[in-house]
Amino acid sequence: MKIRAVELIRVTMPLVAPFRTSFAVETNRDVLLVRVETAEAQGWAECVAMDSPLYSSEYLDGAQQVISDHLLPRLFAADELSGAAVGGLLAPVRGHRMAKSAVETAVLDAELRAMGMPLSQYLGATATEVVSGVSVGIQDTVPELLDAVEEYLDAGYARIKLKIEPGWDLAPVAAVRERFGEDIVLQVDANSAYHRADARHLAQLDTFGLLLIEQPLAEEDLAGNVELAKVIRTPICLDESIVSAQDAYEAIRTGACAIVNIKPGRVGGYLESRRIHDVCAAAGIPVWAGGMLETGIGRAANLALAGLSNFTLPSDISASDRYYAQDLTEPITMTGGRVAVPTGPGIGIDPIPEVVTELTTARTVIQP
Ligand code: NPQ
Ligand code: MG
């Protein structure tokens, strides 16, 4: 396989409601789509970096520049390109995993479409549907939070994740438990908003029967989680801290986490995601599929991955309408708390050209 051209498309997606986390309030999701053209097929992927480097150090303009100036030239220079070869070709470039993931996924999608093979099959997924959870942003008041949670439970979501930060943690969690009872599956995500010194405070969450607490401490503070785990009983799950299979191995070995959230963008792609899945499976550590407010393009690919056997906890893969009134693809839907794994070749879904055109803010074509 050889690449003929790559198109980089920037799209702005209005969110159905602002999404507030401990690091930002988003009202629009800026997205970078990567379209790879080969003689046999085209492949699509979505770069999950945010417009600002607030979730992690990557951001969209930076990712786009790395893709055009540093990643694509290395792929153009290769004689026989395949999805599996991309990782090795891009390895000399340090970091920039979200950029690498988008490029690798688009190449893989083109290859699999040409072969007629679904990504789920290529990755070794066995499930045909994935348990769907929802991530609920920080609200201005507890009553507003309760309304939001009620709406998602009524819609059928199988698990609720509350975003937390200092000042928005014990009271909202207590109120949700009080209102909806012990039976709802509930977890929290701090996006690195706490410090080691908050251990005693976080231990107060133990009374609420949470499935897990996600990324309580700074990305770099693996050892802090080992200390925290001695003080709290709620299982610690890492998101931002795990950017490779090596990290996952180290975090598990040292006791920094009991659960891992896998986001392909964060770790450099679907193949590294599978390696993390395998490392965790071998260690008896459950994993689940995270989300980065993807459009249907990224969401479809995440579903393929989430079909692997050690994805045993509910995902952050919600329906399209959780975030977007109009998705770039046919909407991904949730019924009975589950979302279907796509069955078509490659990522199994196509962007709707008119919708992409309407929401596009910039596009460039890069050729060998
Ligand atoms: C998480 N996602 O698990 C992330 C963080 C996150 C669904 O909670 C724009 C782009 C806004 C990416 C907000 C969920 C975002 C974003 C939050 C990612 O930590
Ligand atoms: Mg998270």
Q: What is the pLDDT of residues 193-205, one digit of tens each?
A: 999 999 999 999 9
Whether residue 273 has its Cβ less than 6 Å from ligand 1: no
| Tens-place pLDDT, residues 322-359 | 999 999 999 999 999 999 999 999 999 999 999 999 99
> What is the pTM for the complete model shown?
0.97
49 pLDDT band, cuts 50/70/90, is very high
How many helical (H) and strand (E) elements, i.e. helices and strands, does the chain have? 14, 13
Mean pLDDT of 360-365: 98
293 C-alpha to center of ligand 1: Å?
6
Mutate to test the pocket of ligand 1, among 48, 260, 293, 295 (most ligand atoms within 8 A of CB): 293
| Tens-place pLDDT, residues 270-313 | 999 999 999 999 999 999 999 999 999 999 999 999 999 999 99
pLDDT value of position 223: 98
269 pLDDT band, cuts 50/70/90, is very high
pLDDT value of position 252: 98
Q: What span, in angstroms and rounded, lies between the C-alpha atoms of 179 and 184? A: 10
40 C-alpha to center of ligand 1: Å?
35
Mutate to test the pocket of ligand 1, among 54, 55, 192 (most ligand atoms within 8 A of CB): 55
Distances (CA, A) of 250 to 81, 230, 270: 32, 18, 20
pLDDT value of position 79: 84
267 C-alpha to center of ligand 2: Å?
13
pLDDT value of position 325: 98
Mean pLDDT of 227-243: 98
pLDDT of 146 strictly over 90: yes
**What 8-state DSSP symbol labels residue 105?**
H
Q: 46 in the Ramachandran plot: left (φ > 0), alpha (ψ -120 to 50) or beta?
A: beta
Return mean pLDDT, the chain. Answer: 98
Whether residue 132 has its Cβ less than 6 Å from ligand 1: no
The closest of 315, 305, 290, 319 to 347, measured between CA atoms, is 305
| Tens-place pLDDT, residues 58-112 | 999 999 999 999 999 999 999 899 999 999 999 999 999 999 999 999 999 999 9
pLDDT value of position 155: 97
- The DSSP-derived string for 221-240 is -HHHHHHHHHH--SPEEEST
Whether residue 22 has its Cβ less than 6 Å from ligand 1: no
